[in-house]
Amino acid sequence: MKKKSLIENFFTIYGNRNNQPVLFFSPGRVNLIGEHTDYNGGFVFPCALNFGTYLAIRKTDDNKLKFHTINFDRNETIDVSSSYISSEKKWVNYPLGVVNEFARNNIRITGLEFLFSGDVPNNAGLSSSASIEMVTAVALNDLFKSGLPLIDLVKMSQRAENKFVGMNCGIMDQFAVGFGKEDHAIFLNCDTLIYEYVPLKLKDHSLIIANTNKKRGLTDSKYNERVAECKKAVELLQPYKKISNLSELNSSEIDLLNKYIEDPVVIRRARHIISENGRTKEAVRVLRKNNIQQFGELMNQSHDSLKNDYEVTGFELDTLVYEARKQPGVAGTRMTGAGFGGCTVSIVEKKYSESFIKKLGKAYSEITGLVADFYLPEIGDGARKMG
Protein backbone atom coordinates (compact mmCIF):
# COMPACT_ATOMS: atom_id res chain seq x y z
CA MET A 1 0.00 0.00 0.00
CA LYS A 2 1.25 3.47 -0.86
CA LYS A 3 2.11 5.72 2.10
CA LYS A 4 -0.34 8.36 0.96
CA SER A 5 -3.34 6.06 0.80
CA LEU A 6 -2.49 4.48 4.18
CA ILE A 7 -2.53 7.95 5.75
CA GLU A 8 -5.69 8.85 3.87
CA ASN A 9 -7.38 5.69 5.13
CA PHE A 10 -6.17 6.47 8.63
CA PHE A 11 -7.82 9.90 8.59
CA THR A 12 -11.02 8.48 7.12
CA ILE A 13 -11.23 6.01 10.00
CA TYR A 14 -9.91 8.05 12.91
CA GLY A 15 -10.35 11.71 11.81
CA ASN A 16 -8.30 14.60 13.30
CA ARG A 17 -6.26 15.47 10.21
CA ASN A 18 -4.07 17.88 12.17
CA ASN A 19 -2.29 15.07 13.93
CA GLN A 20 -0.23 12.83 11.62
CA PRO A 21 0.17 9.12 12.37
CA VAL A 22 3.66 7.59 12.40
CA LEU A 23 4.34 4.84 9.83
CA PHE A 24 6.12 1.52 10.26
CA PHE A 25 6.77 -1.47 8.03
CA SER A 26 7.62 -5.08 8.78
CA PRO A 27 8.29 -7.71 6.11
CA GLY A 28 7.04 -11.26 5.65
CA ARG A 29 9.66 -14.00 5.35
CA VAL A 30 10.38 -17.07 3.31
CA ASN A 31 12.39 -19.91 4.77
CA LEU A 32 14.81 -21.46 2.27
CA ILE A 33 15.67 -24.55 4.32
CA GLY A 34 15.63 -25.69 7.97
CA GLU A 35 11.95 -26.39 8.62
CA HIS A 36 10.45 -27.19 12.02
CA THR A 37 13.96 -27.14 13.46
CA ASP A 38 13.65 -23.81 15.32
CA TYR A 39 11.65 -25.09 18.32
CA ASN A 40 14.12 -27.99 18.48
CA GLY A 41 17.13 -25.72 18.96
CA GLY A 42 18.27 -26.28 15.37
CA PHE A 43 19.34 -24.32 12.30
CA VAL A 44 17.15 -22.27 9.97
CA PHE A 45 17.91 -20.24 6.85
CA PRO A 46 15.16 -17.69 6.18
CA CYS A 47 15.13 -14.28 4.52
CA ALA A 48 12.86 -11.24 4.77
CA LEU A 49 10.69 -10.28 1.81
CA ASN A 50 9.97 -6.95 0.22
CA PHE A 51 6.27 -7.30 1.04
CA GLY A 52 4.82 -7.20 4.51
CA THR A 53 2.67 -5.26 6.98
CA TYR A 54 2.28 -1.48 7.13
CA LEU A 55 1.18 0.21 10.32
CA ALA A 56 -0.01 3.78 10.76
CA ILE A 57 -0.24 4.56 14.47
CA ARG A 58 -1.04 7.60 16.63
CA LYS A 59 -1.12 8.31 20.35
CA THR A 60 -4.40 9.50 21.89
CA ASP A 61 -5.41 10.61 25.37
CA ASP A 62 -8.62 8.61 25.73
CA ASN A 63 -7.08 5.44 27.25
CA LYS A 64 -8.39 3.22 24.47
CA LEU A 65 -6.51 0.92 22.13
CA LYS A 66 -8.26 1.08 18.78
CA PHE A 67 -7.31 -1.54 16.21
CA HIS A 68 -8.34 -1.50 12.58
CA THR A 69 -7.22 -3.69 9.71
CA ILE A 70 -7.83 -2.69 6.12
CA ASN A 71 -7.40 -6.24 4.80
CA PHE A 72 -10.40 -7.61 6.66
CA ASP A 73 -12.10 -4.30 7.32
CA ARG A 74 -12.39 -5.19 10.98
CA ASN A 75 -12.00 -3.13 14.11
CA GLU A 76 -11.86 -3.56 17.85
CA THR A 77 -11.51 -1.23 20.82
CA ILE A 78 -9.97 -2.31 24.11
CA ASP A 79 -9.47 -0.26 27.30
CA VAL A 80 -5.89 0.47 28.30
CA SER A 81 -4.94 -1.77 31.20
CA SER A 82 -1.91 -3.09 33.08
CA SER A 83 -2.53 -6.56 31.63
CA TYR A 84 -4.69 -7.99 28.87
CA ILE A 85 -6.46 -11.22 28.07
CA SER A 86 -6.82 -12.82 24.63
CA SER A 87 -9.70 -11.52 22.57
CA GLU A 88 -12.24 -13.75 20.87
CA LYS A 89 -11.42 -11.89 17.71
CA LYS A 90 -8.32 -13.83 16.77
CA TRP A 91 -6.73 -11.21 14.50
CA VAL A 92 -6.53 -8.71 17.35
CA ASN A 93 -4.48 -11.09 19.49
CA TYR A 94 -1.36 -10.58 17.38
CA PRO A 95 -0.96 -6.86 18.15
CA LEU A 96 -2.71 -7.08 21.54
CA GLY A 97 -0.38 -9.89 22.63
CA VAL A 98 2.55 -7.56 21.90
CA VAL A 99 0.95 -4.68 23.82
CA ASN A 100 0.54 -7.14 26.69
CA GLU A 101 4.26 -8.00 26.50
CA PHE A 102 5.15 -4.32 26.89
CA ALA A 103 2.79 -4.13 29.89
CA ARG A 104 4.47 -7.21 31.38
CA ASN A 105 7.80 -5.41 31.02
CA ASN A 106 6.34 -2.46 32.95
CA ILE A 107 6.30 -0.19 29.93
CA ARG A 108 3.15 1.87 30.20
CA ILE A 109 1.27 1.91 26.92
CA THR A 110 -1.34 4.68 26.71
CA GLY A 111 -4.19 5.23 24.23
CA LEU A 112 -3.41 4.41 20.60
CA GLU A 113 -5.01 4.22 17.20
CA PHE A 114 -3.68 1.45 14.95
CA LEU A 115 -4.29 0.95 11.27
CA PHE A 116 -2.78 -2.19 9.70
CA SER A 117 -2.55 -2.95 6.03
CA GLY A 118 -0.63 -5.90 4.67
CA ASP A 119 0.36 -7.45 1.40
CA VAL A 120 1.63 -10.77 2.79
CA PRO A 121 -1.00 -13.37 1.90
CA ASN A 122 -2.60 -14.54 5.14
CA ASN A 123 -2.19 -18.05 6.40
CA ALA A 124 0.22 -18.88 3.59
CA GLY A 125 3.35 -19.76 5.54
CA LEU A 126 5.01 -16.39 4.80
CA SER A 127 4.73 -15.11 8.37
CA SER A 128 1.96 -12.59 8.17
CA SER A 129 1.51 -13.17 11.94
CA ALA A 130 5.11 -12.45 12.89
CA SER A 131 5.01 -9.45 10.57
CA ILE A 132 2.05 -7.95 12.47
CA GLU A 133 3.66 -8.72 15.83
CA MET A 134 7.00 -7.20 14.89
CA VAL A 135 5.56 -4.07 13.29
CA THR A 136 3.63 -3.52 16.53
CA ALA A 137 6.70 -4.16 18.69
CA VAL A 138 8.94 -1.82 16.70
CA ALA A 139 6.26 0.89 16.72
CA LEU A 140 5.62 0.69 20.48
CA ASN A 141 9.35 0.67 21.19
CA ASP A 142 9.70 3.83 19.15
CA LEU A 143 6.59 5.71 20.32
CA PHE A 144 7.14 4.99 24.01
CA LYS A 145 10.92 5.37 23.78
CA SER A 146 11.46 2.08 25.58
CA GLY A 147 14.90 1.51 24.06
CA LEU A 148 14.54 -2.27 23.92
CA PRO A 149 17.08 -4.03 21.70
CA LEU A 150 15.72 -5.73 18.59
CA ILE A 151 16.34 -9.20 19.99
CA ASP A 152 14.03 -8.41 22.94
CA LEU A 153 11.30 -7.28 20.55
CA VAL A 154 11.74 -10.56 18.67
CA LYS A 155 11.41 -12.62 21.86
CA MET A 156 8.41 -10.60 23.07
CA SER A 157 6.67 -11.13 19.73
CA GLN A 158 7.33 -14.86 19.85
CA ARG A 159 6.01 -14.98 23.41
CA ALA A 160 2.92 -13.05 22.37
CA GLU A 161 2.21 -15.71 19.76
CA ASN A 162 2.90 -18.58 22.18
CA LYS A 163 0.90 -17.24 25.10
CA PHE A 164 -1.70 -15.00 23.53
CA VAL A 165 -2.47 -16.69 20.23
CA GLY A 166 -1.74 -20.21 21.51
CA MET A 167 0.64 -21.26 18.74
CA ASN A 168 3.80 -22.76 20.26
CA CYS A 169 6.00 -21.47 17.45
CA GLY A 170 9.78 -21.23 17.56
CA ILE A 171 11.72 -18.02 17.06
CA MET A 172 12.48 -18.20 13.34
CA ASP A 173 9.70 -16.01 11.97
CA GLN A 174 9.97 -13.11 14.39
CA PHE A 175 13.76 -13.24 14.08
CA ALA A 176 13.76 -13.22 10.27
CA VAL A 177 11.18 -10.46 10.15
CA GLY A 178 13.14 -8.40 12.70
CA PHE A 179 16.70 -9.03 11.52
CA GLY A 180 16.12 -9.32 7.75
CA LYS A 181 18.76 -7.79 5.48
CA GLU A 182 18.44 -6.87 1.82
CA ASP A 183 19.81 -9.56 -0.53
CA HIS A 184 20.86 -11.80 2.37
CA ALA A 185 19.51 -14.90 4.05
CA ILE A 186 20.01 -15.43 7.79
CA PHE A 187 21.77 -18.56 9.01
CA LEU A 188 20.48 -18.78 12.56
CA ASN A 189 21.26 -21.19 15.34
CA CYS A 190 17.96 -21.19 17.23
CA ASP A 191 19.57 -22.54 20.37
CA THR A 192 22.26 -19.89 20.84
CA LEU A 193 20.67 -17.22 18.61
CA ILE A 194 24.06 -16.73 16.98
CA TYR A 195 23.48 -15.77 13.36
CA GLU A 196 25.28 -14.88 10.16
CA TYR A 197 24.07 -13.03 7.09
CA VAL A 198 24.80 -15.01 3.92
CA PRO A 199 24.61 -13.16 0.58
CA LEU A 200 21.87 -14.68 -1.53
CA LYS A 201 23.55 -14.57 -4.90
CA LEU A 202 21.43 -16.69 -7.18
CA LYS A 203 23.09 -15.37 -10.35
CA ASP A 204 21.07 -16.62 -13.29
CA HIS A 205 18.37 -18.12 -11.03
CA SER A 206 15.34 -16.60 -9.36
CA LEU A 207 13.41 -17.38 -6.24
CA ILE A 208 9.77 -18.17 -6.98
CA ILE A 209 7.12 -18.56 -4.31
CA ALA A 210 3.94 -20.45 -5.21
CA ASN A 211 0.86 -20.27 -3.01
CA THR A 212 -1.37 -23.37 -2.94
CA ASN A 213 -4.28 -21.18 -1.86
CA LYS A 214 -5.50 -24.16 0.08
CA LYS A 215 -7.64 -23.09 3.00
CA ARG A 216 -5.68 -24.18 6.04
CA GLY A 217 -7.65 -25.43 9.00
CA LEU A 218 -6.39 -26.62 12.36
CA THR A 219 -2.83 -25.61 11.47
CA ASP A 220 -2.10 -24.40 15.00
CA SER A 221 -3.24 -27.64 16.61
CA LYS A 222 -1.35 -29.84 14.13
CA TYR A 223 1.71 -27.66 14.63
CA ASN A 224 1.44 -27.94 18.41
CA GLU A 225 1.11 -31.70 17.99
CA ARG A 226 4.49 -31.79 16.20
CA VAL A 227 6.05 -29.69 18.97
CA ALA A 228 4.72 -32.22 21.52
CA GLU A 229 5.99 -35.21 19.51
CA CYS A 230 9.51 -33.78 19.44
CA LYS A 231 9.37 -33.11 23.17
CA LYS A 232 8.29 -36.71 23.66
CA ALA A 233 11.30 -37.94 21.63
CA VAL A 234 13.65 -35.93 23.86
CA GLU A 235 12.05 -37.38 27.01
CA LEU A 236 12.37 -40.92 25.70
CA LEU A 237 16.03 -40.43 24.84
CA GLN A 238 17.05 -38.61 28.00
CA PRO A 239 17.60 -41.72 30.18
CA TYR A 240 20.23 -42.86 27.67
CA LYS A 241 21.68 -39.64 26.35
CA LYS A 242 22.04 -36.26 28.06
CA ILE A 243 20.21 -33.94 25.68
CA SER A 244 17.87 -31.02 26.13
CA ASN A 245 16.74 -30.84 22.49
CA LEU A 246 16.86 -33.00 19.35
CA SER A 247 19.38 -30.75 17.63
CA GLU A 248 22.05 -31.96 20.04
CA LEU A 249 22.03 -35.24 18.09
CA ASN A 250 23.95 -35.48 14.83
CA SER A 251 23.37 -37.67 11.76
CA SER A 252 25.62 -40.44 13.07
CA GLU A 253 23.31 -40.79 16.09
CA ILE A 254 20.11 -41.46 14.12
CA ASP A 255 20.38 -45.13 15.11
CA LEU A 256 19.68 -44.18 18.73
CA LEU A 257 16.11 -43.39 17.70
CA ASN A 258 15.37 -46.98 16.65
CA LYS A 259 17.18 -48.30 19.67
CA TYR A 260 15.41 -46.30 22.37
CA ILE A 261 12.07 -45.20 20.91
CA GLU A 262 9.27 -47.63 20.12
CA ASP A 263 6.65 -45.39 18.54
CA PRO A 264 7.44 -45.25 14.76
CA VAL A 265 5.74 -41.85 14.46
CA VAL A 266 7.98 -40.31 17.12
CA ILE A 267 11.03 -41.91 15.45
CA ARG A 268 10.12 -40.34 12.11
CA ARG A 269 9.57 -36.88 13.62
CA ALA A 270 12.94 -36.96 15.37
CA ARG A 271 14.66 -38.29 12.25
CA HIS A 272 13.41 -35.30 10.27
CA ILE A 273 14.84 -32.85 12.78
CA ILE A 274 18.26 -34.50 12.81
CA SER A 275 18.48 -34.85 9.02
CA GLU A 276 17.11 -31.34 8.40
CA ASN A 277 19.76 -29.78 10.63
CA GLY A 278 22.45 -31.58 8.63
CA ARG A 279 20.94 -30.44 5.33
CA THR A 280 20.66 -26.85 6.49
CA LYS A 281 24.32 -26.61 7.49
CA GLU A 282 25.32 -28.25 4.22
CA ALA A 283 23.04 -25.95 2.20
CA VAL A 284 24.70 -22.86 3.65
CA ARG A 285 28.13 -24.33 2.92
CA VAL A 286 27.34 -25.03 -0.74
CA LEU A 287 25.60 -21.69 -1.23
CA ARG A 288 28.73 -19.89 -0.06
CA LYS A 289 30.50 -21.74 -2.89
CA ASN A 290 27.79 -20.60 -5.32
CA ASN A 291 26.70 -24.18 -5.91
CA ILE A 292 23.03 -23.52 -6.66
CA GLN A 293 22.39 -27.03 -8.00
CA GLN A 294 23.55 -28.66 -4.80
CA PHE A 295 21.58 -26.15 -2.73
CA GLY A 296 18.49 -27.05 -4.77
CA GLU A 297 19.09 -30.76 -4.29
CA LEU A 298 19.10 -30.22 -0.51
CA MET A 299 15.84 -28.26 -0.79
CA ASN A 300 14.32 -31.26 -2.59
CA GLN A 301 15.50 -33.62 0.13
CA SER A 302 14.09 -31.28 2.76
CA HIS A 303 10.65 -31.44 1.18
CA ASP A 304 10.72 -35.21 0.93
CA SER A 305 11.61 -35.48 4.60
CA LEU A 306 8.82 -33.04 5.55
CA LYS A 307 6.45 -35.19 3.53
CA ASN A 308 7.51 -38.65 4.65
CA ASP A 309 8.96 -38.21 8.12
CA TYR A 310 7.37 -35.05 9.46
CA GLU A 311 4.07 -35.37 7.57
CA VAL A 312 3.28 -31.67 7.28
CA THR A 313 2.86 -31.34 3.51
CA GLY A 314 -0.40 -32.63 2.02
CA PHE A 315 -1.84 -33.10 -1.44
CA GLU A 316 -1.69 -29.47 -2.64
CA LEU A 317 1.87 -28.76 -1.49
CA ASP A 318 3.10 -32.09 -2.84
CA THR A 319 1.40 -31.46 -6.18
CA LEU A 320 3.11 -28.07 -6.52
CA VAL A 321 6.47 -29.54 -5.58
CA TYR A 322 6.38 -32.70 -7.69
CA GLU A 323 4.93 -30.94 -10.74
CA ALA A 324 7.59 -28.22 -10.34
CA ARG A 325 10.32 -30.84 -10.43
CA LYS A 326 9.16 -31.91 -13.90
CA GLN A 327 9.80 -28.41 -15.28
CA PRO A 328 13.07 -27.45 -16.95
CA GLY A 329 15.57 -25.24 -15.12
CA VAL A 330 14.39 -26.08 -11.59
CA ALA A 331 17.35 -26.38 -9.20
CA GLY A 332 15.16 -27.22 -6.20
CA THR A 333 11.70 -26.81 -4.72
CA ARG A 334 10.10 -27.38 -1.32
CA MET A 335 7.32 -26.32 0.99
CA THR A 336 8.13 -23.37 3.25
CA GLY A 337 6.85 -22.46 6.72
CA ALA A 338 4.65 -24.60 8.93
CA GLY A 339 3.10 -26.59 6.07
CA PHE A 340 -0.37 -28.19 5.84
CA GLY A 341 -1.00 -25.81 2.94
CA GLY A 342 0.58 -22.43 2.33
CA CYS A 343 3.48 -21.91 -0.07
CA THR A 344 6.37 -23.59 -1.81
CA VAL A 345 9.67 -21.94 -2.64
CA SER A 346 11.61 -22.86 -5.77
CA ILE A 347 14.90 -21.87 -7.33
CA VAL A 348 14.48 -21.67 -11.08
CA GLU A 349 16.77 -20.63 -13.91
CA LYS A 350 15.75 -17.11 -14.92
CA LYS A 351 15.22 -18.00 -18.56
CA TYR A 352 12.60 -20.58 -17.53
CA SER A 353 10.81 -18.49 -14.87
CA GLU A 354 7.94 -17.46 -17.08
CA SER A 355 7.27 -20.91 -18.52
CA PHE A 356 7.65 -22.39 -15.03
CA ILE A 357 4.85 -20.20 -13.69
CA LYS A 358 2.62 -20.86 -16.68
CA LYS A 359 3.08 -24.61 -16.88
CA LEU A 360 3.11 -25.27 -13.16
CA GLY A 361 0.02 -23.10 -12.66
CA LYS A 362 -1.80 -25.08 -15.34
CA ALA A 363 -0.79 -28.50 -14.05
CA TYR A 364 -1.68 -27.53 -10.48
CA SER A 365 -5.15 -26.34 -11.47
CA GLU A 366 -5.83 -29.45 -13.53
CA ILE A 367 -4.86 -31.74 -10.67
CA THR A 368 -6.29 -29.92 -7.66
CA GLY A 369 -8.98 -27.65 -9.08
CA LEU A 370 -7.34 -24.73 -7.22
CA VAL A 371 -5.56 -21.71 -8.65
CA ALA A 372 -2.03 -21.06 -7.41
CA ASP A 373 -0.57 -17.57 -7.03
CA PHE A 374 3.06 -16.90 -7.87
CA TYR A 375 5.40 -14.25 -6.45
CA LEU A 376 8.92 -13.30 -7.47
CA PRO A 377 10.03 -11.62 -4.26
CA GLU A 378 13.02 -9.46 -3.54
CA ILE A 379 14.92 -10.00 -0.33
CA GLY A 380 14.45 -6.94 1.85
CA ASP A 381 15.32 -5.41 5.22
CA GLY A 382 13.73 -6.13 8.59
CA ALA A 383 11.01 -4.26 10.56
CA ARG A 384 11.51 -0.49 10.68
CA LYS A 385 10.11 3.01 10.95
CA MET A 386 9.28 4.47 7.56
CA GLY A 387 10.91 7.73 6.58
Restricting to residues 29-48, which ones interact with ligand GLA according to CB under 6 A?
Answer: 31, 35-36, 38-39
Interaction residues for ligand GLA, span 12-31 (CB under 6 A)? 31
Return the residues of window 250-289 that contact ligand GLA according to CB under 6 A: none
Sheet holding 384-385, edge to edge: 74-79, 64-69, 112-118, 46-59, 22-31, 384-385
Identify which of residues 170 and 380 has a Cβ nearer to ligand GLA in the complex. Answer: 170
Residue 294, classified by CB atoms within 10 Å of its CB into exposed (0-12), middle (13-18) or buried (19+), is: middle
Q: How near is the Cβ of 31 to ligand GLA at its closest, in Å?
A: 6
> Where in 227-246 is the site for ligand GLA (CB under 6 A)?
none
> Which is closer to ligand GLA, CB of 14 or CB of 295?
295
For residues 386 and 179, give the distance between their C-alpha atoms in angstroms, rounded to a whole number.
16
Shortest Cβ 319–ligand GLA spacing (Å): 20
Q: What angle do CA 303, 151, 382 make, to 5 degrees?
A: 65
- Nearer to ligand GLA among residue 23 and residue 160 (C-beta): 160
What is the rounded CA–CA span in Å between residue 94 and residue 160?
Answer: 7
Residue 382 lies near ligand GLA (rule: CB under 6 A): no
CB 326 within 8 A of CB 375: no
Q: How far apart are the first and last CA of the chain?
A: 15
Q: Which is nearer to ligand GLA, 31 or 53 (CB)?
A: 31
We find the least distance from the C-beta atom of residue 194 to ligand GLA, in angstroms, to be: 18
In angstroms, give the least distance from the CB of 12 to ligand GLA. Answer: 33
H helices of the chain, in order, are 3-14, 90-104, 128-143, 150-159, 172-179, 219-237, 255-260, 264-288, 292-308, 315-324, 353-368
CB of 10 to ligand GLA, least distance (A): 29
Shortest CB 226 distance to ligand GLA, Å: 9
Pattern of binders to ligand GLA over 130-169, x per CB under 6 A? ---------------------------------------x
60 versus 162: smaller Cβ distance to ligand GLA: 162
Residue type, 339: G
Is 173 a residue that touches ligand GLA (CB under 6 A)?
yes
Counting Cβ atoms within 10 Å, is residue 85 exposed (0-12), middle (13-18) or buried (19+)? exposed
Strand partners, 208: 346
| Cβ proximity to ligand GLA, 28 vs 380, nearer residue | 28
Q: Which residue in the shown chain puts its C-beta closest to ligand GLA?
A: 169
Closest distance to ligand GLA from the beta carbon of 225 (Å): 13
Cα separation values, 119 from 48, 131, 157, 375, Å: 13, 10, 20, 12
Count the residues of the shown chain that bind ligand GLA, applying the rule CB under 6 A. Answer: 11
Map the footprint of ligand GLA across residues 302-361, applying CB under 6 A. Answer: 337-338
Query: From the list 48, 139, 172, 331, which residue makes contact with ligand GLA (rule: CB under 6 A)?
Result: 172
Least Å from the CB of residue 315 to ligand GLA: 19
Supply the DSSP symbol for 375.
E
Of residues 14 and 164, the one with the C-beta less far from ligand GLA: 164
* 27: CB partners within 8 A, 6+ apart: 48, 49, 50, 51, 52, 120, 131, 177, 180, 380, 381, 382, 383
Number of helical H runs and strand E runs in the chain: 11, 13
| Contact residues for 92 (Cβ-Cβ < 8 A; gap 6+) | 67, 76, 78
Asked if residue 303 lies in contact with residue 324, where contact means CB atoms within 8 angstroms, the answer is no
Q: By CB under 6 A, what part of segment 55-114 binds ligand GLA? A: none
Instruction: For residue 38, indicate whether it is catalytic.
Output: no
Q: Is the Cβ of residue 68 or residue 334 nearer to ligand GLA in the bound state?
A: 334
When asked if residue 170 is in the footprint of ligand GLA (CB under 6 A), the reply is yes
- Asked if residue 62 lies in contact with residue 111, where contact means CB atoms within 8 angstroms, the answer is yes
Q: Could you give the 3-state DSSP secondary structure of residue 104?
A: helix
The catalytic residue among 38, 173, 220, 309 is 173
Q: Which residues here bind ligand GLA, judged by CB under 6 A? A: 31, 35-36, 38-39, 169-170, 172-173, 337-338
Catalytic residues: 173
